[in-house]
């Protein structure tokens, strides 16, 4: 079987074009993977920041609760003070529990950086939205506690 020059050149062009197309596909896939990793990494940084911001607000609130509890315990006896002490103790317990949860979430987020390819972006977005909500509530609670404290002073 004899192949003329034109057929050989055509076949060579088809094979070369196919190889170049396949290489291009692999490069495109690698670029998409890098882009996805950067996107996930950016979202993890955002989630980490929100969790840390909430933790700071919770710690500040916790300290204010402790100060208020110490002040209330100096003058026990009245029913109002007893209720205030019980309420503050409940707030302190809740604050400590949430701080422990936040420590766990922060550790989980830090661990996720090692497995960027295995993270579900939709689940991460939902987690960020929830973290934003918790952080906003913590900041609002801290502001409210500060306002109440300044009004009582």
Alpha carbon 112 to chain centroid distance?
10
Structural tokens at position 80: 């109002």
- Residue 131 CB: number of other CB atoms within 10 A? 22
Same domain, 15 and 66: no
Same domain, 5 and 69: no
CA distance 40 to 120: 9
Same domain, 19 and 48: no
* pLDDT score at 151: 74
Same domain, 27 and 66: no
CA distance 150 to 96: 24
* pLDDT score at 65: 87
CA distance 130 to 65: 25
* pLDDT score at 28: 92
* pLDDT score at 1: 64
Same domain, 85 and 127: yes
Same domain, 67 and 25: no
Same domain, 60 and 94: yes
Low-confidence ranges of the chain (pLDDT < 50): none
The pTM assigned to this predicted structure is: 0.72
Number of domains in the chain: 2
CA distance 86 to 90: 6
* pLDDT score at 104: 92
CA distance 16 to 9: 10
Same domain, 56 and 124: yes
Same domain, 60 and 2: no
Same domain, 15 and 76: no
Domain extent for 57: 43-152
Same domain, 68 and 142: yes
């Amino acid at each position: 079987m004899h192949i003329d020059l034109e057929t050989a050149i055509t076949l060579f062009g088809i094979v070369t074009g196919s190889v170049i197309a396949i290489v291009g596909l692999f490069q495109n896939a690698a670029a998409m993977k890098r882009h996805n990793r950067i996107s996930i990494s950016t979202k993890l940084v955002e989630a980490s920041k929100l969790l840390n911001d909430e933790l700071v607000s919770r710690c500040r609130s916790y300290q204010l609760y402790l100060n208020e509890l110490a002040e209330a315990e100096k003058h026990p006896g009245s029913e109002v003070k007893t209720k205030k002490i019980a309420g503050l103790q409940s707030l302190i317990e809740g604050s400590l529990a949430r701080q422990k949860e936040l420590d766990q979430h922060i550790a989980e987020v830090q661990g996720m950086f090692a497995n960027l390819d295995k993270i579900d972006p939709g689940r991460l977005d939902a987690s960020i939205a929830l973290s934003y909500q918790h952080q906003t509530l913590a900041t609002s609670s801290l502001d409210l506690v500060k306002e109440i404290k300044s009004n009582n002073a």
